[in-house]
């Protein structure tokens, strides 16, 4: 029988995968466009609004006149990269997020990376992440997650990105970045290897590890860092785990959250933006407004109890669409330090949660509930 040009779906997939990964090794722009074009076709077929770039949003109101201009930042979080030869799906997802951010017009002032860049803290995973993030056209502010840290206790991460705890000022707003995944030593007495320690931390509900904390040292640093600020100063805190107690069995929890909140209490408005929970999550505790970020890798289900009342829930993702429930987002920071956040959900319409919704304790500007199928 004559052999034609037929190639099986598997062969074609493997060839395309190889080409994309080779291009990525050369930091080739075409690799990024390839991901964008492939995903654009899928979402266009589903009739989704403006899927590939962010929605323009209102960035000023009369009440703010004379108090400085709001500005936008973008976020990308929880990419959980394996070595690219093991899992190219998560690699493609992070590339898609980089493309999304590069397509924002006007460009954001900077990007926050929300932690868990790697899956098991391995040098090749972190190097791969750093290589992909280098394609961002605007500066990126890095935050560490537990998956980045517990193989070598942050050595490689610090080499690539610097100290995990720092602060900076941008357009009149004070930003603080914390390492909120500090755990008590559960490994020495058990004689665990570095990889056993890493895998224990990566298994959120294994019951062996201790809870995340910010810890005494960073809390003392935070107090000192904030000392110079007036109570009316706009303040945004980035943490990987939520700085409140949501659900301990899954480590959706920071054990010294009460102490951290006490340090933040004297400020009129505080915004905390966190990763780790991989879902749409919104909370308010007194003066502190909390915003969870989406993951580019997978969405977690909601915790079986303790879901904050203000959370605008997303319906359960489609199990047959690997990027459903994932995405990235943009945050408009207002001069008072409160934010509007936009969840740029891939393959779904975006969801905007305005600061007035939190400020009014959910009585104003409540986002519409999702009408998508629940699986
Ligand atoms: Fe994560
Ligand atoms: Fe995490």
For residues 300-320, b (16+ Cβ closer than 10 Å) or e, as one string? Answer: bebbeeeebebbbebebbbee
> Which residue bears the tokens 């969870």?
292
Can you read off the two tokens belonging to residue 56? 């323009």
Question: Under 8 Å CB-to-CB from 102, ≥6 apart: which residues?
Answer: 135, 136, 137
- pLDDT, tens digit (0-9, with 9 covering 90-100), for 19-70: 766 666 555 555 666 665 665 555 555 555 544 444 444 444 444 444 688 9
What are the distances in angstroms from CA 157 to CA 134, 144, 160?
Answer: 15, 8, 5
Residue 202 alpha carbon to ligand 2 centre in Å: 8
How many Cα atoms occupy the beta-carbon half-sphere of 345 within 13 Å?
24
CA 151 to ligand 2 center in whole angstroms: 14
316 CA distance to ligand 2 middle (Å): 20
* Residues in the chain with pLDDT values less than 50: 1, 50-66
Q: Give yes or no for a contact between 150 and 187, defined as CB atoms under 8 angstroms apart.
A: no
Residue 319 has a pLDDT of 86
- Diameter of the chain measured on Cα atoms: 82
**So what's the pLDDT on residue 369?**
75
Domain-wise residue ranges, the chain: 1-49, 52-359
Determine the pLDDT at residue 111: 98
pLDDT value of position 331: 98
CA of 148 to the centre of ligand 1 (A): 10
Pick the CATH number of 52-359 from 3.40.50.720, 2.30.40.10, 3.40.50.1360, 3.60.21.10: 3.60.21.10
- Residue 210 near residue 201 (C-beta atoms within 8 A): no
Q: Which residues surround ligand 1, an ion (CB under 5 A)?
A: 78, 116
Distance between CA atoms of residues 31 and 366, nearest Å = 39
Q: CA 206 from chain center: how many Å?
A: 23
Three-class secondary structure of residue 375 per DSSP: coil
């Amino acid at each position: 029988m004559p052999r034609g040009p037929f190639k099986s779906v598997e062969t074609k997939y493997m060839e395309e995968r190889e080409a994309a990964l080779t291009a990525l090794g050369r930091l080739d722009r075409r690799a990024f466009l390839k991901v964008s074009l492939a995903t654009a076709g899928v979402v266009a077929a589903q009739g989704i609004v403006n899927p590939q770039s962010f929605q323009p949003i209102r960035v000023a109101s009369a009440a703010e006149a004379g108090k400085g201009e709001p500005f936008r930042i973008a976020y990308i979080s929880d990419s959980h990269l394996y070595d690219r030869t093991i899992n190219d799906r998560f690699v493609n997802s992070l590339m898609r997020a980089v493309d999304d951010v590069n397509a924002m017009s006007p460009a954001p002032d900077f990007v926050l990376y929300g932690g868990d860049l790697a899956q098991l803290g391995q040098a090749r995973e972190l190097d791969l992440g750093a290589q992909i993030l280098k394609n961002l056209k605007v500066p990126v502010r890095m935050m560490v997650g537990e998956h980045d840290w517990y193989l070598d206790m942050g050595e490689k991460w610090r080499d690539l990105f610097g100290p995990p705890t720092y602060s900076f000022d941008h357009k009149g707003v004070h930003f603080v970045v914390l390492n909120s995944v500090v755990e008590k030593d559960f490994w020495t007495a058990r004689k665990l290897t570095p990889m056993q320690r890493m895998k224990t931390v990566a298994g959120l509900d294994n019951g062996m590890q201790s809870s995340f904390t910010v810890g005494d040292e960073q809390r003392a640093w935070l107090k000192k860092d904030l000392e110079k600020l007036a109570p009316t100063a706009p303040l945004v805190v980035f943490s990987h785990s939520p700085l409140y107690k949501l659900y301990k069995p899954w480590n959706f929890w920071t054990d010294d959250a009460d102490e951290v909140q006490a340090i933040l209490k004297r400020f009129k408005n505080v915004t905390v933006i966190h990763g780790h929970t991989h879902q749409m999550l919104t909370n308010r505790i007194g003066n502190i407004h909390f915003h969870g970020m989406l993951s580019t890798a997978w969405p977690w289900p909601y915790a079986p109890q303790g879901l904050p009342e203000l959370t605008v829930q997303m319906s359960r993702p489609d199990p047959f669409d690997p990027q459903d429930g994932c995405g990235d987002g943009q945050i408009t920071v207002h001069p008072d330090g409160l934010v509007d956040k936009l969840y740029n959900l891939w393959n779904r319409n975006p969801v905007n949660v305005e600061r007035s919704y939190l400020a009014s304790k959910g009585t104003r500007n409540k986002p519409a509930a999702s009408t998508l199928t629940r699986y």
